[in-house]
Amino acid sequence: MTQTLLVLGSANADLVVEVGRRPAGGETVLGGDTVVLPGGKGANTAVAAARVGASVALVGAVGGDGYGSLLRESLESSGVDTALVKTSSRPTGIAYITVTPDGENSIVVSPGANADVSLSDVDALSFDGAAVLTCSLEVPLETVVHAIGAASRAGVRTVLNLSPVAELPAETLRQLTVLIVNEHEAAQLASDWRSLLELGPSSAIVTLGSRGAAVVQESGIVEVPAIEVDEVVDTTGAGDAFAGALSARLAEGDDLVQAARYAAKVAALSVTKVGAQPSYPTAAEVG
Ligand code: ATP
């Protein structure tokens, strides 16, 4: 393994269709043409990191179907190493997304192959040369817990984007270098941001949407303002862009506040374009 960043998480095909209104039970409505987009929190995070120049491998699973090939191609075209993306006997994970004219999404996620990312996949990992492991939660929780333990024992820094909030063993929380949550998730976990550290991680980042992010460390809280953009087009995947870019910079040796400032730039650029992965900027675009 030569990649300095390992991302463990999901890869999904997002099937998006516009509808005038949502069907009620037993009803059929006609929608627009289906748009197929590469998604999944793990894949998004890995792509965001690769686009800004990280050497990154995704640890995950897709099915042996057409969507699986499409997701692999999309990851590889962004420079993500897919050698650790296994082909499962289950179908590729799919998010069925309907969008109504008011812009609201309704989503059904079928995890499929993502549910097969297992303890043995983690046991097969070599952390040689890795600086950072970043995990998100659309794969089995026990696999994430196992991976964080293994990375921490190997001296690899660990980042967890805890979205949605799930209950983690106290030991896993103590093994985290950086816990990333948005402000709603932070409120579910602790009474104030400083108290997030009492759960065990060495540091925490609370993302605050258009207000930026807060970096919480023993030494205090540093607010990282959002970069103002001319027009917010689509915030889908902004959180994954932030996590990916932050991990990329941490793997390069930035300190946490420097990495968060860079991640805020990447995430801001991502909201100016449609989609998640297609909206992620390159290092040259970040400047
Ligand atoms: P999502 O679930 O939509 O991916 P999230 O809730 O995990 O997002 P947010 O806090 O909404 O995460 O956004 C992540 C980061 O993206 C923020 O910390 C900020 O840096 C950037 N960001 C989000 N919205 C905007 C915006 N309107 N303008 C500039 N930057 C933004």
Per-residue pLDDT reduced to its tens digit, 42-82 = 999 999 999 999 999 999 999 999 999 999 999 999 999 99
Query: Which residue is it, tokens 């991302």?
Result: 7
Specify if 202 maps to a domain: yes
Q: Is 275 left (phi over 0), alpha (psi -120 to 50) or beta?
A: left
**Which residues lie below 8 Å from residue 33, measured CB to CB, with a gap of 6+?**
17
User: Which residue segment(s) compose the domain that 141 sits in?
Assistant: 5-11+42-60+79-84+115-279
Per-residue pLDDT reduced to its tens digit, 204-248 = 999 999 999 999 999 999 999 999 999 998 888 999 999 999 999
The protein residue whose alpha carbon is closest to atom 5 in ligand 1 is: 239
Q: How many A from CA of 18 to the centre of ligand 1?
A: 24
Q: Is 53 left (phi over 0), alpha (psi -120 to 50) or beta?
A: left
Residues with catalytic roles: 240
Ligand 1 pocket check for 107: Cβ under 6 Å: no
Specify if 55 maps to a domain: yes
Specify if 20 maps to a domain: no
What is residue 252's predicted lDDT score, i.e. its pLDDT? 96
**Which regions of 9-55 does DSSP assign to beta strands (E)?**
12-18, 35-39
What is the C-alpha to C-alpha distance for residues 108 and 113, in angstroms, rounded to an integer? Answer: 15
The protein residue whose alpha carbon is closest to atom 14 in ligand 1 is: 239
Q: For ligand 1, what atom is nearest to the CA of residue 240?
A: 4
What is residue 1's predicted lDDT score, i.e. its pLDDT? 56
Assign residue 179 the CATH number of its domain. Answer: 3.40.1190.20
Specify if 149 maps to a domain: yes
What is the C-alpha to C-alpha distance for residues 268 and 287, in angstroms, rounded to an integer? Answer: 13
What is the C-alpha to C-alpha distance for residues 269 and 232, in angstroms, rounded to an integer? Answer: 9
Whether the per-residue pLDDT at 275 is higher than 90: the answer is no
The protein residue whose alpha carbon is closest to atom 6 in ligand 1 is: 182
Q: For ligand 1, what atom is nearest to the CA of residue 263?
A: 20
Specify if 160 maps to a domain: yes
Q: How many A from CA of 243 to the centre of ligand 1?
A: 10
Ligand 1 pocket check for 136: Cβ under 6 Å: no
Query: Which residue is it, tokens 């309907």?
Result: 98
Specify if 30 maps to a domain: no
Mean pLDDT of the residues in the chain: 96
The protein residue whose alpha carbon is closest to atom 13 in ligand 1 is: 209
Residue of 180, 207, 249 best suited for mutating to test ligand 1, as the one with most atoms within 8 Å of CB: 207
Complex ipTM above 0.95?
yes
Per-residue pLDDT reduced to its tens digit, 144-171 = 999 999 999 999 999 999 988 999 999 9
Ligand 1 pocket check for 242: Cβ under 6 Å: yes
Do the annotations mark residue 236 as ligand-binding?
yes
Q: What is the pTM of this model?
A: 0.96
Specify if 206 maps to a domain: yes
Do the annotations mark residue 207 as ligand-binding?
yes
Ligand 1 pocket check for 210: Cβ under 6 Å: yes
Number of domains in the chain: 1
Do the annotations mark residue 73 as ligand-binding?
no
Ligand 1 pocket check for 208: Cβ under 6 Å: yes
Query: Which residue is it, tokens 């109504």?
Result: 100
Shortest CA distance to 244 belongs to which of 55, 78, 47, 10? 47
Specify if 36 maps to a domain: no
Both structure tokens of 60: 């995950």
